[in-house]
Chain A
Amino acid sequence: MSKEFLLGNEAIARGLLESGVDVATGYPGTPSSEILAALTPVAAERGFHIEWSVNEKVAMEVAIGASWAGARSVVTMKHVGLNVAADPFMTLSHTGVVGGMIVLVADDPFCHSSQNEQDSRMYAKFAKIPCLDPCSPREAKDMIAYAYELSEKYQTPVMFRPTTRVSHGKSDVTVGELPEGKRPVKFTKDVERFVVLPKHTRALLKKLNAKQEAISKELLSSPWNRLDLKPGAKLGVIASGVSSKYVEEALTAIDVPVSSLKIGAYPVDPLLITRLAESVDRVLVIEELMPLVEEQVRMYVDDVAGKMTGEVPHEGEFDTLLVSNIIRKLLKLPAIEVRAPPAGIELPMRPPAMCPGCPHRATFYALKSVFKEDAIFASDIGCYTLGTQMGAVDTCICMGASITVASGLSFAGVPNKVACTIGDSTFLHTGIPGLMNAVYNKADITVVILDNRTTAMTGHQQHPALGETITGEPTTEVSLEQMVKACGVEHMQVVNPFDLETTKAAFKSAYEAEGVKVIIARQPCIITAKRIGIKRKQYEVIPDLCEGCRRCVKFGCPAMEFKDGKAVTNDQCAGCGICADLCQFGAIKIRSR
């Protein structure tokens, strides 16, 4: 036993190792991505299977198959990934599992890196499976072992739901021993269970409903739901997941006794709620995202403060200050004020931006210079969603929706040209059916596959078109060109976006043609390029030649600044050379020293 300083996701990975995970699958998505990344280095040595799956539905089904053979499996994803995997997920609760199976779904209150806020606890309730909601990296590690035991005892998948502040929180974590030996696997045929014909499912649903009460009672005695009654307390605070940590800290600065109920496992047994409610005058429920616990508490308690009475925000992420002030207000204590910097200084925003030397910037530039402002640019999920800053992204709703939304615009009959952008990993994830559909139903669109040879946004994960697995082992490389052709596309061209003229010519030919045109803009992500040792020389602006026209500055590269009427490059230049192509005065050249 020793202590290590671990990221929440690393602590979860450690818990999985200590529980002897046999099959680990997932699709990258912030804040879940580091779990598989942390398992990868030891996969070969520990002898378990690990994979980046093509998408979350695929990942979920692979984990189901493994579990049905008796293996312990885990599937990891972000909250919106569960929408993609919802089909197998909703029926899995009926068939149940054999080997323990954890459905790990990381939620992102405040949408730090997501397209929506979504409460996966609702999905667990929807599917009638237990959900564990850790409050800290430390608790997350310990909860994993419990999750597998619970899963095997009740033959149910268990949802494990960290939020961003757990997944990307850090703490000292006590690491334990790793198990010896390999778990035997065997698939025992059972058609009435593993084939969900209507007749079978009707019986399975009865079994699923019948075990709900037993699961609820089991969780009553778990260490994750903890009632702390204080003598003389008039207020009782119920808080779930990370919010319980904020309550704990807030109460250290309040002298009045306050009782609390920490929730870390669902379904919550009503006994805990009524015990708290009977000992106090008023109950406050603090939980991020949806009022899941609050709705349940309202079934048993009359005077409840929470989201539904306006005391607790419906949106965003909480913190200790926010929670303190909610509790203080109910106790009629003065609010804690924070000293703000003096007004009068306007701070320029610093939104995330595409990197200096990012090939997407070059592709977007070429695309816009051919298609112009009037075209409609549908897009997708990835670093390139930041193309909004160049006016080259007009729509983005979910993974794979660029080609399909573009098709819909085309079928609606908009007079504008319609072009869309989708990354290589996203294209493989859910883009292919959309492309097939566009060709089949005769859309008139230009599809640009931004092939930067990685899943960049989430931390550079492998995918099937790279010829390399999660562990770096060589494998069959799926060809994007052949995939595009197999979908029936005839007009296809592969370009290097750093070759601006050829790229523009390809877009021009697509602009003029009818039907579904695909341009694959291929150039490795600048971050991976640096890592694999591609060296490019930096560029500089020759001040005497610069006319100060700002053409290069408007390109929006963070490496290009403007001082005293002249453009000037800074040390972030990655050497893509597009600014030199843009300069009409020949003022931008490779740095001489």
Chain B
Amino acid sequence: MFDLIIVGVGGQGAILASDIIGKAAVAEGLPVTGAETHGMAQRGGAVENHVRIGSRYGSMIPAGGADCMMSMEPLEALRFAKYLKPQGIAIVNTERIVPVTVYSGKTPYPELNEILGALKGVCKEVKAEDYTALARKAGAVQALNVVMIGAVSKYLPLKEETLKQVIAKSVPPKTVAVNLKAFDLGRDA
């Protein structure tokens, strides 16, 4: 069983990311369960999507149970850190999306070093990259979710080829080339 938690900000494409990984698991004949965030939180709120490969249990990963976290935004990695296993790995995009509360309120956005340092105290390994820059390099900033699927693919119990086949079928036809490039850039980063 492999538990992956995908976190980020509503609108970043976390649902498509979990959908691609879940479909790839089904294509390989593995049981899979998951949970998505819909409704009000999709309007720029913090979102968490769960993917449980090889699972027949409930849709949500218990706190302290995730083998891997894919975080599309640094602050959200720390917000959902409770899900990580002590032996888990966190893959974190370093590009920030500053919540409006930072400009209107009193709480500042923590320094990136502070966030990553705190995460290192929770799990075994933290891999932080500017995956947004890689998405731009691939040709579209919207491909961030696929770049990050590439980055987590090295840890998933799924074949690279299966993931690529599902990506090609799941993204708009005009963007297949960009997304496959995005996957490769993420995987090689």
Interface residues of A (CB under 8 A from B): 3-5, 7, 30-31, 33-34, 112-113, 135-137, 165-166, 168-172, 242, 245-246, 248-249, 319-321, 324, 336, 338-342, 345-355, 383, 386, 389, 457-459, 553-554, 556-558, 560-562, 571
- Flag if A172 contacts B76 (CB, 8 Å): no
Partner of B35, one of A168, A341, A459, A561: A168
Whether, in the assembled complex, B171 has its beta carbon less than 8 Å from a beta carbon of chain A, the answer is no
- Whole-angstrom CA separation of A553 from B45 in the bound complex: 19
Partner of A457, one of B40, B86, B110: B40
Best-surrounded residue of B39, B78, B103, B118 (most CB of chain A within 10 A):
B39
Whether, in the assembled complex, B177 has its beta carbon less than 8 Å from a beta carbon of chain A, the answer is no
Closest 8 CB pairs of A and B: A113-B39, A169-B59, A30-B39, A352-B45, A245-B58, A320-B62, A170-B34, A249-B57
Known A5-B25, A112-B40, A561-B98; judge A342-B121 contact (CB<8 A): yes
- Give chain B residues whose Cβ lies under 8 Å from the Cβ of A389: 100
* 9 contacting pairs across A/B (C-beta < 8 A): A5-B19, A113-B38, A168-B37, A249-B62, A340-B82, A348-B108, A350-B99, A355-B43, A457-B40
- Flag if B35 contacts A4 (CB, 8 Å): no
- Whole-angstrom CA separation of A7 from B26 in the bound complex: 13
Partner of A341, one of B43, B102, B119: B119
Partner of A170, one of B9, B36, B76: B36
Known A112-B39, A353-B44; judge A171-B33 contact (CB<8 A): yes
Interface residues of B (CB under 8 A from A): 9-11, 18-19, 22-23, 25-26, 29-46, 57-60, 62-65, 75-76, 78-79, 81-82, 84, 86, 98-105, 107-110, 114-115, 118-119, 121-122, 141
- Whole-angstrom CA separation of A276 from B79 in the bound complex: 41
Known A112-B41, A351-B45; judge A249-B23 contact (CB<8 A): no
- Flag if B63 contacts A338 (CB, 8 Å): yes
By beta carbon, the residue of chain B nearest A112 is B39
User: Taking chain A's interface residues, is the majority helix, strand, or loop, or is none over half, making it mixed?
Assistant: loop
Known A324-B62, A355-B44, A458-B39; judge A349-B99 contact (CB<8 A): yes
B10 to chain A, nearest CB (A): 7
- Whole-angstrom CA separation of A30 from B36 in the bound complex: 12
Q: Can you name 7 extra interface pairs (CB under 8 A) apart from A31-B38, A339-B64?
A: A169-B58, A242-B59, A321-B63, A336-B64, A352-B42, A353-B43, A353-B45
- Give chain B residues whose Cβ lies under 8 Å from the Cβ of A34: 38
- Give chain A residues whose Cβ lies under 8 Å from the Cβ of B98: 561
- Give chain A residues whose Cβ lies under 8 Å from the Cβ of B32: 5, 170-172
- Flag if B118 contacts A5 (CB, 8 Å): no
- Give chain B residues whose Cβ lies under 8 Å from the Cβ of A553: 103-104
- Whole-angstrom CA separation of A165 from B35 in the bound complex: 7
- Give chain B residues whose Cβ lies under 8 Å from the Cβ of A348: 75, 99, 101-102, 105, 107-109
Known A168-B38, A345-B118; judge A3-B26 contact (CB<8 A): yes
- Flag if B39 contacts A171 (CB, 8 Å): no
- Whole-angstrom CA separation of A320 from B66 in the bound complex: 13
A545 to chain B, nearest CB (A): 20
- Give chain A residues whose Cβ lies under 8 Å from the Cβ of B38: 30-31, 33-34, 113, 168, 459
B108 to chain A, nearest CB (A): 7
